[in-house]
Structure 1
Amino acid sequence: MMLTNLPNDILILIFSKYLSLEDLFSISQCSKYFKDIIFNYVIKNINNYPVLDLNYPFGYNQYDEYSKSYSVDFNNFYRLKCYLNLKNNPVVQKKIYAFSEKMFPSIQIGEDTRDSHGFRSVYLTDDNQFLWLNLDDVIKSNPIEISDKYYRKKKFVNKIKTVNRVPIIGYGDIRKFKKKDDFLVCSFDKGLKLFLYENDRFEMINELAEQNNRINCVDLGLKYKKIIYGCTNGLLKIGSTDDFSFSQINVKDRIIRCCFSPSEKDLAVGTAGIYPHKNSIPSPVRIYDLFSFKEKQHLVSPGGIKIGGGILSLSFIDENTVMSAGYDTFIRIFDLRSNKCIQSLEEPEDMSIYSVCCSKYYGLLSGNDRQSIVRYWDRRVNRIIRSFEVCKTNSSVYSLACTPDCILAGVDLGIILLDFRYS
């Protein structure tokens, strides 16, 4: 009997049980009949597969040859493949970058699969240096073999080739940074510097000193050429990348995190939650209009948030959805249209949540305080799929970045890579 004579549900059962994803790709190219059956099945069930990396385009690595002709359909196959890898594959874990002393590292992965240099980039900080790396070089690099117990007594060399290494002198170590297109902004305890990438190098185009304040967070928006940063004394400052002139909003609480919305018309502010908001319960997450500087809304969780339940991680999932996490062990997702918390995930070890990567495809990563644990969540069912201990030093996971294939975690002594591509 020919395969084409079998009912569609029997064909799907055979394909799903005995064929790999690569085999399905090959069969789908044999005829339009098989292509329609396989692609319709995958598209119908794709919401069952929460994956990471909100901005990751299709057409990557060994599947590039399929991307031109199958685009959207290919993306669905790729999401399925990455979910199965992340859920089931043994993880290859290695330290790919080491610091000479304990740090509070920041990591960012370039938003484009291929940037102007032809590869996907990784950005990180080391003391007063900004480092630009090739993600493929990072993944292929040999692990740094060094005992954390005797860390300070040993000398080592970070051998990953850097595309660009920018020493930034004047304000101490880099605390936070943001790179978009050709612009880079770096914040320090007492200052801010803006750079432009031209002629294969970064040139500083503006700087700002904050002698009486400590800068805790910074973000960059190029659509309206704006920079925002938050200070310990409760001042949120909004300025232009052109002339570095800043206006300020006093939120009357210590600012820990701030970020632009995807449209860059609004901004979210996460505070320490020490002082009640407008004589009410503590409300550490607030939304402001970029142009009027007025507060649009403050986000309240069911049952309220205890005093001191401040924000350590804050981001927009999309224009209408905000994610926050922090000292009170909960990850909360708010819908701005209804001004309600629509989902909350609780860290099972009763520890603060220091960093989060969140995707609109229902995948979420969290890094906790003290135990160096990264957790992979399925937001559809409020369930942890896998947990990973990234180091033995009981460091906080200060920052997280990911592609669908790998996770980069920043801990106090270095950068850890978790690679899921191999079965």
Structure 2
Amino acid sequence: MLLTQLPEDVLYHILLHLDRRSLCRLSQACKSLNRFVNRDAVWRRIAKGCLNSGITWNGTDIYPNVPLKERVKTAQNWYHGFCKKWTLLKWKTKLLPWLQLDGNVLYLSQAAKIGAYSLSRDSRRLQRIPLENFSGHKGDVCRFVLTDSHLISGGSDGRILVHSRRRNMSLGLMGHSQEVNCLDSKNGLIISGSRDRTARMWTLTSSSPLGTIPMFDRVWSVAISPTQSSFVTGTACCENFYPLRIWDVERLVCVCSLGSEFRRGAGVLDIVFESPFQLFTCGYDTFVRQWDLRLSPQKCVMEWEEPHDSALYCIQTDGNHMIASGSSYYGVVRIWDKRQTKCLQFFQLSSDSLSSPIYCLRFSSSHLYAALATALHSLDFRQQPAHIR
């Protein structure tokens, strides 16, 4: 019996024993095998062990429109650091930009406006004219988040604006007495944090806060749990309080405090929930930390230290093995493999004379976008250098 005459389920179990290179060679044998080997089901096991393949720890596929074989190939470039660098946009005045990525549309804040830019097919540049502009703040936009139907922004004027993505209208919330450093939103719930040392909870339909929490310290970061039953606040760690605290949404009471070992000034600048019980943080103390909220007491289970002793402004995870972080000096982006303790790859996006933090970064299956003080950069991981293909 020929290999192609085997029942599909038998052939599938045979292919489970092959590695990436063997599958690629087998796919070149004939058209019939090529069609079978290129199925996502064949590549799923290999993809789950790769960086940024789109398969999360619980099996969810976050890039279902991109073939898994193609993502596994690109994942090798992420791992080995093979990419092309592009400068997508430049501006003269130094800003503190923020990013969000939604498919092939990149949202970028510049001063008091947020522009929605269409990414070109070759991803080397942005369309110069934004598809849409969101405005209304009297000061710079500090943070903004996207939901399916809204764009929610917080500014240095203390205001929080809720912009509709489907209709040309916006709602202004009361906000804070000082700049809104951070905010997060899920399913109509909004959490904001401010330099005025308070965190507040809102809904999309109310202009007044549902509750205000005195934090006694500047709030630098917030994140809502995927279950929406709790949220986390990260503070400047300048007062005698834990820099990380978890709050119950219903009662607005602290249910857990983290970071007892943090030194004074080790503020938390970014927080990412990867699951209801896995939390990642970074900040001024130069560490990326992973917290397991299932343990009692909850504690840090892994940490990765920035080698050049730089503060970490932002992080993003792929939901499985990869972490990307942005440093405070020279526009350095680092790629981490959670299964290793040392940095896997790093990319410097600004020269020594134009040192700038990475204020925000976002990535897709094939690109990483990083916002610096005067430019927006892109790393394209789709193609390997010719000499190693």
When the two structures are superposed, what TM-score results if normalisation uses the length of structure 2?
A: 0.85
Alignment length (residue pairs): 367
Structure 1 residue corresponding to 2:323, chosen from 357, 364, 369: 364
Amino acid at match of 2:222: C
Partner of 1:130: 114
State the alpha-carbon separation in 2 of the partners of residues 21 and 415 from structure 1. 41
Give, in angstroms, the shift of residue 415 of structure 1.
Answer: 0.6
Helix, strand or coil: the match of 1:19? helix
Conserved? CA contact 1:52–1:364, under 8 Å:
no
RMSD: 3.0
**Larger helix share, 1 or 2:** 1
CA distance in 1, matches of 2:327, 2:38: 43
In structure 1, runs of 5+ residues without a counterpart are 64-74, 114-119, 142-157, 278-282
Q: Aligned equivalents of 1:396 and 1:133: distance in 2? A: 22
Does residue 227 of the first structure (1) align with residue 206 of the second (2)? no
Cα separation, 2, equivalents of 1:293 and 1:328: 28
Closer, same or farther: CA 418–9 of 1 in aligned 2, 3 Å? closer
Give the alignment partner of residue 193 of structure 1, picking from 157, 161, 173. Answer: 161
Matched with 2:133 is: 165
Runs of 5+ unmatched residues, structure 2: 385-389
Superposition deviation, residue 20 in structure 1: 6.0
Please tell me whether residue 239 in structure 1 is matched to residue 196 in structure 2: no
Displacement of 1:121: 2.0
User: Partners of 1:138 and 1:244 in 2: how far apart?
Assistant: 42
* Matches of 1:17 and 1:228, distance apart in 2: 49
C-alpha distance in 1, partners of 2:190/2:380?
Answer: 34
Picking from 217, 221, 226, the partner of 2:182 is: 217
- Relative distance call for 1:401 and 1:236 in structure 2 (3 A) is same
- 1:258 aligned partner, one-letter code: V
Corresponding residue number in structure 1 for 2:238: 274
* In the alignment, structure 1 residue 205 sits paired with structure 2 residue 205: no
Deviations 1:307-344, CA, capped at 9 Å, x for gaps: 11111111111111111001111100101111121110
Tell me what 2:387 maps to.
Answer: none
Moved more, 1-10 or 250-259: 1-10
Percent of aligned positions with the same letter in both sequences? Answer: 21
CA shift for structure 1 position 29: 4.9
The question of 1:306 aligning with 2:271 is answered: no
1:96: which partner in 2?
88
- C-alpha separation in 2, matches of 1:10 and 1:242: 51
How many Å apart are 1:391 and its aligned residue? 1.5
Q: Which amino acid aligns with 2:139?
A: G
Q: Which AA in structure 2 matches 1:259?
A: A
Query: Is residue 348 from structure 1 mapped to residue 303 from structure 2 by the alignment?
Result: no
Tell me how far 1:292 sits from its aligned partner: 0.9
**What is the CA–CA distance in structure 2 between the aligned matches of 1:21 and 1:130, rounded to whole Å?**
48
Q: 1:12 to 1:171 in 2, by over 3 A?
A: same
**1:117 aligned residue:** none
Q: 2: distance between equivalents of 1:52 and 1:39? A: 14
Q: Of the candidates 383, 402, 405, which is equivalent to residue 366 of structure 2?
A: 405
Q: Secondary structure at the match of 2:51?
A: coil
**1:11-410 pair list within 5 angstroms:** 12=18, 16=21, 19=24, 23=28, 28-29=33-34, 42-51=43-52, 56-60=62-66, 63=67, 75=68, 77-88=69-80, 90-110=82-102, 113=103, 120-136=104-120, 139-141=123-125, 159-166=127-134, 168-190=135-157, 191-199=159-167, 202-208=168-174, 210=176, 212-222=177-187, 225-246=188-209, 247-277=211-241, 283-300=242-259, 304-338=261-295, 339-392=298-351, 393-410=354-371
**C-alpha contact (below 8 Å) 2:178/2:194 kept by paired residues:** yes
Secondary structure of 2:174's match? strand
- 1:416–1:346: structure 2 CA closer, same or farther, 3 Å change rule? same
Higher relative contact order (CA 8 A, sep 6+): 1
Query: For residues 35 and 406 of structure 1, do their structure 2 counterparts lie closer, same or farther at Cα, with a shift above 3 Å needed?
Result: closer
